Amino acid sequence: MNVHSSKYKCTECGKCFTTNQHLTVHRRSHSGEKPFECSVCSKRFTTAGDLVRHSRIHSGEKPYKCHVCDKAFSESGHLNSHMRLHTGDKPYKCSLCNKSFSHSSSLQLHKRHVHSNRRPYHCPYCGKLFKRNMDLKCHVRIHTGAKPYLCRHCSERFTSRFQLKTHLLKSHNEGTWLACHMCQKKFSLSGDLKKHILRHEGVKPYVCSECPKCFCTSFELKKHLPVHLDYKQFCCYFCDRSFKHKYAVKKHFKKCSSVHGFNVNQSKCHV
């Protein structure tokens, strides 16, 4: 047994470290202490290394360069993830269906949407089901009209904190944009960034129950589902032709309204 492995022991959890410095950093995970503060945005960090990596967001420094396509990254982990696009390496395997993924986040998303159909939270207004209580609470505000999130810079109010965060970034330049480590496209919400990364990886966790087609987002799956239905809910105001999709009836309506001598901007269709 290595006597040095137990020289510095955490009194909270019993974990051992080889140096007192490592033990000091570990103890912050119990105390919540974050002594390193960013001079630009005041965000705090547990270690000096975390602060250095964060500071590159403000400075634009990208010291880690891909030798295949010359893309540059602010963190070595982002470069390693990017390299899997070139190597095709997919080290994260689903234990339920053996499908493999380039990133752990993609694997977790796959498990959540493909292998779990449990939706215990239901809306008292319309009966819609949700996997998380937080999603239900946000949905209910559609029915109640509640907008509890107020912008501190103007009088705008929002249904969710995500809408407020996007507003602060776009309208008041407050906060930090999230950049894709593969193409540098920027997003205001982490969820949108994760969905975007799925497109790079070719991950499509939303599977149609009627055919083998898969989709990146639930919206795309919902848009696809009418293909399997005989019901055509969208009807033209002039000729009564019916369509499965709203975009199809709108396209038809522009032509049909001009044939009947109406201004498409003043007319309407039954949607």
Cα separation, 82 vs 259, whole angstroms: 53
5-9, 162-166, 201-205: which has the minimum mean pLDDT?
A: 5-9
The tokens describing 190, both together, are 């982490």
The per-residue pLDDT for range 112-136, each reduced to its tens digit, is: 666 766 778 888 888 888 877 888 8
Of the candidates 52, 28, 31, 74, which has an alpha carbon nearest to the alpha carbon of residue 178?
74
Cα-Cα-Cα-Cα torsion 224, 188, 183, 202, nearest 10 degrees, comes to: -30
Residue spans of the domains in the chain: they are 3-96, 177-228, 229-271
Q: What is the mean pLDDT of residues 21-44?
A: 87
Q: What is the mean pLDDT of the chain?
A: 80
Of 5 and 199, the structure prediction assigns the larger pLDDT to: 199
The answer to whether the 3-96 and 177-228 domains have the same CATH topology is yes
The tokens describing 209, both together, are 């129950």
Look at residue 121 in the predicted model and tell me its pLDDT: 85
Look at residue 117 in the predicted model and tell me its pLDDT: 67
Residue 1 has pLDDT above 50, yes or no: no
What is the CATH code of the structural domain delimited by 3-96? 3.30.160.60
What is the CATH code of the structural domain delimited by 177-228? 3.30.160.60
CA distances from 114 to 56, 97, 110, 188 (A): 36, 10, 6, 26
Please tell me which of 10-19, 198-207, 239-248 the model is most confident about, judged by mean pLDDT.
10-19
Of 249 and 11, the structure prediction assigns the larger pLDDT to: 11
Q: What is the mean pLDDT of residues 154-180?
A: 88
Look at residue 198 in the predicted model and tell me its pLDDT: 80
Residue 4 has pLDDT above 60, yes or no: no
Q: What is the mean pLDDT of residues 202-217?
A: 79
Q: What is the mean pLDDT of residues 154-176?
A: 89
The per-residue pLDDT for range 45-62, each reduced to its tens digit, is: 888 888 888 888 787 788
Other beta carbons less than 10 A from residue 268's beta carbon = 10
Look at residue 233 in the predicted model and tell me its pLDDT: 65
pLDDT band with cut points at 50, 70 and 90 for residue 172: very high
The tokens describing 74, both together, are 């602010």
Of 33 and 242, the structure prediction assigns the larger pLDDT to: 33
Look at residue 188 in the predicted model and tell me its pLDDT: 85
Of 266 and 197, the structure prediction assigns the larger pLDDT to: 197
Look at residue 209 in the predicted model and tell me its pLDDT: 72
Look at residue 167 in the predicted model and tell me its pLDDT: 92
Instruction: Give 259's strand partners.
Output: none
